[in-house]
Chain A
Amino acid sequence: MSADTLTADSRPASVPAGTGSLKRFARRRSTIAFLMTLPLLLVIVCLVAYPASYGIYLSTLNRTMERSIGFGNFEILFDTDTFWNVVWQSCIFAITAVIAKALIGFWLAHMLHHIPTKGQRKWRGMLLVPWVIPPALSTLGWWWMYDPSYSSINYLISLVGAPPVPWLGEPLWARAAIIIVNVWVGAPFFMIMYLAALKSVPEQLYEAAAIDGASSFQRLRYVTVPMMANIISITVLFSLIVTFANYDIVRVLTNGGPRDLTHVFASYAFQVGILSGNIPRGAAVSLFMLPILAICAFFVLRGVTRRNKEQM
């Protein structure tokens, strides 16, 4: 006699048949699992799926948002020099800034890792300050420092007899200025992630490498970097996404100028969508990042999964 039969037979006569099957349904592992993940699913639907779908929907509307024009907004953007300038500027900005942040963060983490624990905390706290201050506020400080007439940076440059630099007035300098601020804000994040990763590399691997004949640089190349590969990949991916979507630094420092040459996707989308009142086209600008980042994410996460399978 099966368990189901037993349950059915032993059911009190007063309990209706439907109540029992409902109870069994509620007690099923798959039902419980679904109910337990439901809050997370709701959060994803409300905060990720809906806004993303709505953004895609918006990008297909006309300026007055009354009718669908399909890929019309994208076609118009592709015919605009400013848009391609934004694509170019965003890529240069994101790639340069992420590489600089990764290198500086790695260097800082390495330096910190070799400071005795007692003094390390103090330095770690100080180096994290740029990341902790709200970027809009700290960028305002940088804006003052970049001022052509009164800035501290130009004052320092004048001490060595060099002419003042038009930091935010010339496109090239303005692009560099934006990257510098972004690196200043973001490098501590890399530092703290890399520091955690460095601490997780077993000391005996370094000792084994030292005995095997590895120099300091070879230990870095053959032990540290491969052992940190997953953290490096994930941090770079995360930072690439955040840097591509950066808005506040460009907005406060240059507002996209001079001549719209320092716009990135987010600031240009804001200008087109909010300031110029063309929300569908603004949505189309912001959606343009999606395929680029999705491809990056695919390759990075595939590498992470492969390494995890092989090593962990």
Chain B
Amino acid sequence: MAQVSLRKIVKMYEGDVQAVKGIDLEIADHEFVVLVGPSGCGKSTTLRMIAGLEEITSGDIAIGGTVVNDIPPRDRDIAMVFQNYALYPHMSVFDNMAFGLTLRKFPKAEIKRRVDEAARILDITPLLDRKPKALSGGQRQRVAMGRAIVRNPKVFLFDEPLSNLDAKLRVQMRTEIKKVHQTVRTTTVYVTHDQVEAMTLADRVVVMNHGVIEQVGPPQELYHSPATRFVAGFIGSPAMNFLPARVENGAVHLPGGAVLPIPEARRARYAGAPGLDLLFGIRPEHLTDHRPGLPNRAEITITPEVIEPMGMETLAHFHLGEARDCCARLEPTVAAEPNVPLILTADMNNMHLLDARTGRVL
């Protein structure tokens, strides 16, 4: 078990392409940290640098207090689960899981004990004699995790381990991974581009974009208090709505003439907002069907373009002035129709105001 420290980590590729631009990150012992971001944001590169599979251009990586910049992967005491499992096709499941221990010359009895224990945790005991070819995607993923568990390493690294699975299996395996972490409590760094995986698994989520860390925090903090427009837009599905806005006389003025009063508790926070080019940010779940009488609520009248009944909820897609692709979450019982005006209620307690120029949340 160990903490992982990343200090001013830079990764440059040929042609002066800077994949990671001087990131700092402290991961505590036993912590489950998820690096999330769009393709090309540098999350996998960061993980591979922790693993020792990529050289660091500058900066320091420390595992358990030891700087590991020049230590080869095999001596870092880490285990990694790859996106496509990377199981050795010529070895049985048992041999795949035992490989790392065999190379480290563990006694045979100890290898068997550890493999059996990991297989029991992952429920793959009946598969131990099979070759990877004879396994399903989910079973292969479990074996890959088993290979990591038996080593009892200081740190687990997961590189988009669920990307190759179908949606149903992904949910199932997500739960498995969480269970395993709750059992073995090994420090874990997990890379994904799926924000749902990030939110459900992580103790802390690290949102990356263009090689920098946009925000680090627990999932709820990222959801409720995003620091930037990128984080606000990336976390949450459907994504947060952003509408051009200005603040005057303690209210947000939206395109189309809607005026939404800012709650009393937030007025001091937005004291500097008047005169700035702003974006009004609100999540679809905070823009719902009309519920008069609730405190700190404001009305917006929209004309839905598309109505998507989802069963447990109904999504209404609309545009408001220049802001396109806006979305509201309605109760499934609401009789919304396309092109028929609809009054929505905005929960102003959960609104965000962003500086349109810098993208920072005020």
Contacts and interface: CB of A to CB of B under 8 A. Distances in A.
A222 B99 contact: yes
A311 interface: yes
Nearest to B83: A204
B86 interface: yes
B45 to A, nearest CB: 14
Contact of B90 (A202, A214, A218, A227): A227
B51 A205 contact: no
B269 to A, nearest CB: 47
Interface string B103-130: 1100000000000000000000000000
B258 to A, nearest CB: 52
Interface residues of A, number: 22
A164 to B, nearest CB: 50
Interface string B38-82: 000000000000011100000000000000000011100011101
A204 B82 contact: yes
Interface string A180-223: 00000000000000000000001011011111111100100011
A229 interface: yes
Q: What's the dominant secondary structure at chain B's contact region?
A: loop
Given A202-B84, A205-B88, A229-B90, A210 B72 contact: yes
A207 B53 contact: yes
A211 B74 contact: yes
A211 B80 contact: yes
B90 A311 contact: yes
A11 interface: no
Given A202-B84, A311-B133, A210 B99 contact: no
A213 B104 contact: yes
Contacts of B131: 310-311
A51 interface: no
Interface string A160-177: 000000000000000000
B90 A208 contact: no
A307 B87 CA distance: 16
A100 to B, nearest CB: 26
B147 A310 contact: no
Given A207-B82, A207-B86, A214 B74 contact: yes
B90 A211 contact: no
Contacts of B99: 209, 212, 222
A183 to B, nearest CB: 29
A310 B147 CA distance: 20
A70 interface: no
Contact of B86 (A205, A222, A310): A205
Nearest to A312: B133
Question: Helix, strand, loop or mixed for chain A's interface?
Answer: helix
B86 A208 contact: yes
Contacts of A311: 89-90, 131, 133
B86 A202 contact: yes
A226 interface: yes
Contacts of A223: 88
Contacts of B52: 210-211
Given A227-B90, A310-B133, A204 B74 contact: no
Contacts of B90: 226-227, 229, 307, 310-311
B80 A213 contact: no
B100 interface: yes
Contacts of B74: 210-215
A212 B100 contact: yes
Contact of A208 (B72, B82, B133): B82
B164 to A, nearest CB: 12
Contacts of A204: 82, 84, 86
B63 to A, nearest CB: 13
Given A202-B84, A202-B86, A208-B86, A218 B103 contact: yes
Interface in B212-253: none
A208 B82 CA distance: 8
A282 B245 CA distance: 97
A222 B87 CA distance: 12
Nearest to B84: A204
B88 A226 contact: yes
B88 A222 contact: yes
B51 A211 contact: yes
A21 to B, nearest CB: 46
Given A209-B88, A229-B90, 20 more contacts: A205-B86, A207-B73, A207-B86, A208-B86, A208-B87, A208-B88, A210-B72, A211-B51, A211-B53, A211-B73, A211-B74, A211-B80, A213-B100, A213-B104, A223-B88, A226-B88, A310-B89, A311-B89, A311-B90, A311-B131
Interface of A: 202, 204-205, 207-215, 218, 222-223, 226-227, 229, 307, 310-312
21 contacts: A204-B84, A204-B86, A207-B73, A207-B80, A207-B82, A208-B86, A209-B88, A210-B52, A211-B52, A211-B78, A212-B103, A213-B103, A214-B74, A214-B103, A215-B74, A222-B88, A223-B88, A226-B88, A226-B90, A310-B90, A311-B133
